[in-house]
Amino acid sequence: MKKIFVCILSGVLTVACGYDRFGTLGPGDLEGSGTLPDADLALLREHFYGDPFVVQEDLTVGGYVVSDDRAGNFFRSFIIDDGSGAVEIRAGFYDLHAYCQRGRRIVIHARGLAVGMYNGVVQLGAGVNDWSAYRVEEFGSRVLLDRCMERDTLFREVPPLEPGIGGLEERYCGRLVRIAEVCRSGGPVTWADAGAESGMPATGTVWFRDAAGDSVAVVTSGYASFAGDTVPAGRVTLTGILMYGKFGGTREVFALKLRDGNDVEM
């Protein structure tokens, strides 16, 4: 099955070559590398068959950074989006907001890298680890990541998708999604347990419902800078990275992970 995936990718390279989903590039747009992707990020999802694998062929993908670790809700990883799909880069070190700033264009040479999936989000990492829940190894250092990654000088803001709760699909996982006009379900709560009373931060799950009665969860790390903030009681608009998994229950559901407190609009 992995060989089939490689053959499919190889067949589309010439079609996708020179492509930039967000517009035409000028002569000075890519001063950092000048490299253009030869395949869409969406292909990694379309041809992922359930088990992590290592890319065996030359394959270059790229996108714009849409999440960082500044607020502590994303841990040692960041996500890039090229307009067709998104991939989480398992960096494995801290202060990524200074290294891969939000909006920066990133190019990844994927040959030899591992492709996996966690909570519906496609991941790229240094190798396959069958003993880890993530199944994809972190790079662990900037030196190792720099061997396969280029940071361009081009910056662009990626607009969020706005499908509404009823329009959420697994293929949107990893991408920035904006959901308007929703209200918190239940009584007053904080986004997560920041550990002020328990002594140990814990992940929180808060549910929001729209006018049609559809629900979506917001999952927040107890280590996020806004974990202890009170969730607004009124109608809000939420922006975050979409995930799909078992969050606070036994069935799989869609959930958002906010990048920081500014992703909540009153």
Tens-place pLDDT, residues 177-221? 999 999 999 877 999 998 877 778 999 999 999 999 999 999 999
Please tell me the predicted confidence (pLDDT) of residue 130. 77
Domain parsing of the chain, residue ranges: 2-155, 165-265
**In the CATH hierarchy, which fold is given to the domain comprising 2-155?**
OB fold (Dihydrolipoamide Acetyltransferase, E2P) (2.40.50)
Please tell me the predicted confidence (pLDDT) of residue 49. 84
168: which 2 tokens? 């959420």
Between 243 and 94, name the one with better pLDDT: 243
Please tell me the predicted confidence (pLDDT) of residue 202. 92
Name which of 109, 105, 160, 129 is nearest 53 in CA terms: 129
CA angle at 87 for the pair 138 and 124, rounded to the nearest 5°? 30
Q: Do domains 2-155 and 165-265 have the same CATH topology?
A: yes
Report the alpha-carbon distance of residue 175 to residue 187 in Å, rounded. 29
- pLDDT for residue 138 is more than 90: yes
157: which 2 tokens? 């803001």
Between 45 and 129, name the one with better pLDDT: 45
Write out the H or E segment, with its range, that includes residue 153. strand 149-155
Amino acid at 250: T
Q: How many CA atoms lie within 13 A of 247 on its CB side?
A: 26
High-pLDDT (> 70) share of the chain, %: 86
Q: What is the dihedral of CA 144, 150, 151, 153, to 10 degrees?
A: 160
Report the alpha-carbon distance of residue 118 to residue 129 in Å, rounded. 13
Please tell me the predicted confidence (pLDDT) of residue 84. 95
DSSP SS3 for 99: helix
DSSP SS3 for 61: strand
Rounded mean pLDDT, 73-98: 95
Report the alpha-carbon distance of residue 125 to residue 90 in Å, rounded. 5
- Burial classification of residue 45, based on how many CB atoms lie within 10 Å of its CB (0-12 exposed, 13-18 middle, 19 or more buried): buried
Tens-place pLDDT, residues 159-172? 999 999 999 999 99
- Burial classification of residue 182, based on how many CB atoms lie within 10 Å of its CB (0-12 exposed, 13-18 middle, 19 or more buried): buried
Rounded mean pLDDT, 75-96: 95
Where are the alpha helices (H) located in 91-185, listed in sequence order? 96-99, 142-146
High-pLDDT (> 90) share of the chain, %: 71
Please tell me the predicted confidence (pLDDT) of residue 33. 56
To the question of domain 165-265 being in CATH 2.60.120, the answer is: no
- Give the pLDDT band of residue 263 (cuts 50, 70, 90): very high
Amino acid at 239: T
